[in-house]
Amino acid sequence: MKKLWGGRFSGSRDQNIEAFGASISFDQRLASFDITGSIAHATMLGETGCILKEEANSIVSGLLKVRDKLERGELEFRLADEDIHMNIERYLTEEIGAVAGKLHTARSRNDQVATDVHLFVRHALLESIVYMQACRSALIEQAERHIGVIMPGYTHLQRAQPVLFSHHLLAYAQMLSRDISRLHDLWKRVNILPLGSGAIAGTTFPLDRMMVARLLKFDGIYENSMDAVSDRDFVLEYQSASCVCMMHLSRLCEEIIIWSSGEFGFIELDDSLSTGSSMMPQKKNPDFAELTRGKTGRVYGSLFSLLTTMKGLPLTYNKDMQEDKEGLFDTVDTLIGSLNVVAAMVKTWRVNADRMRFAADQGFTNATDAADYLAKRGLPFREAHEVVGKLVRHCIERNTHLSTLTLEELKGFSSLFEADIFEALSLENVVNRRGTAGGTGTQPVMNQIAELKRRVKDDQHWLKEHQEGAATR
């Protein structure tokens, strides 16, 4: 196909140079979005009299045929046509002839590609939320199923205080709720239309940009044509939100790796989500958790790559901005793939409740409650802290634990200890005394589950509403 811009130039270009400048190897992923935007543009051109209605109808009919071929996998994209826009226009020309050239009336590839990317990110945002919700629901289900399981909570990866395993899992469910909320907030900056801005300064044709916005289910239009064609903030925001979500998944995967080790043994991953060793037949490796952890760095890289690309660009469009797509596409695929595999690990792991409880019981996780016990009987907390610290050292030196000491031994450290200390130090009581909102007690955890379930319903309603509102077919 003759290049759209070929009139100014003579001669041909070396194939290696052509390949270097072309984007069709990756932006073919925008094909369906490019066709959707073009159908709306052609419809508007016909309605406003920029082209004849019968010409607009012919273009729309031709684009629908091209889309059918795309969906059947019958389109082959050519390097000679540079990008997805010119490849689609070539196929349209084959369908309807020279009138296809009128599709580009009052449109530049600058505002066209910006529209394609908005449509793509809008779709990716909704799809990402679907997978975030699935991962969050898996965590909530596991939390509800294991509500009575006690494990050690950690600071500095040292046993700190006993917590409900459910409480630990719900911390990640809360993180995913914030990830979903971030994408909800991003919607209003994604769902605006750049088309109609031309190459930089708008157009002399009497366009109806709001009509195109309605056809494409955008909430509004860019108010400045230069901003419209040069803005990639919405891509950066999606990538940034993806980085935060991947960080959350990576932290959970780190815990899965630790918990499934022989030293911890808190969980066992399903065989379908583990691998073995080519040399050591006993091995069961948490490869998918490790891979998710590793892929987090690549998503970070895509964000920093585009930030670096954009930081030095004068207004408006520059060829550098062609580099916005590969990192974006990879981020979408990596995020969704990671959410899917993490949800599968959570759904299918086997929980070793006895091992978790043993670790909590043997790790002096109730030491803070022993100090609180003394403080409530009048001993200043700093002194109570020292008394219990000496108790812990006593136990370590004798390879024993607080729960195995006799009342007589305890009184040797403080006369304030009475028989009810043993009840106070039971793991169930230690956990359930944390009954304030947000605490690890059974009731606040059940309240948290109920609130998260309510939020799940709200988010499902938001998603359905926006999926229907964004539908352009």
pLDDT of 382: 95
Instruction: Please confirm, yes or no, whether 277 is among the known catalytic residues.
Output: yes
302 is catalytic: no
Provide block-wise average pLDDT over 10 residues at a time, the chain (473 residues).
Answer: 54 67 82 97 98 98 97 90 90 96 96 97 98 98 97 95 97 98 98 97 97 98 98 98 98 97 95 87 91 97 97 94 94 98 97 96 91 95 95 93 90 94 94 95 97 97 94 81
Sequence-distant (≥ 6) Cβ neighbours of residue 298 within 8 angstroms: 330, 334
For 110-209+217-358+446-470, the fitting CATH number among 1.20.200.10, 1.10.760.10, 3.40.50.720, 1.10.10.10 is 1.20.200.10
CA 183 to chain centre: 9
pLDDT of residue 19: 72
Instruction: Tell me whether the CATH fold assigned to 6-105 matches the one assigned to 367-425.
Output: no
Beta strands 150-155 and 158-164: pairing type?
antiparallel
Q: Is 162 left (phi over 0), alpha (psi -120 to 50) or beta?
A: beta
51, two tokens: 């082209």
Q: Which of 25, 261, 277, 461 is catalytic?
A: 277
Where are the domains positioned within the chain? Answer: 6-105, 110-209+217-358+446-470, 367-425
pLDDT at 99: 97
In 247-335, at which residue ranges do the beta strands (DSSP E only) sit? Answer: 267-268
Per-residue pLDDT at 13 = 57
- The predicted structure's pLDDT at residue 165: 98
One-letter amino acid at 173 equals A
Angle, helices 165-190/442-470, rounded to nearest 10 degrees: 20
Question: DSSP letter string over 115-155?
Answer: HHHHHHHHHHHHHHHHHHHHHHHHHHHHHHHTTT-EEEEEE
pLDDT score recorded for residue 3: 56
Supply the pLDDT for residue 10: 57
Query: Are the CB atoms for 111 and 195 separated by under 8 Å?
Result: yes
Q: Tell me what pLDDT residue 360 has.
A: 94
- Write down the pLDDT at residue 58: 98
Q: Which listed residue (156, 272, 278, 415) is catalytic?
A: 156
Topology (CATH) of 6-105 = Fumarase C; Chain B, domain 1 (1.10.275)
Strand, coil or helix: 267: strand
Closest CA to 459 of 128, 86, 82: 128
CATH architecture of 367-425: Orthogonal Bundle (1.10)
How far out from the chain centre does Cα 243 lie? 7
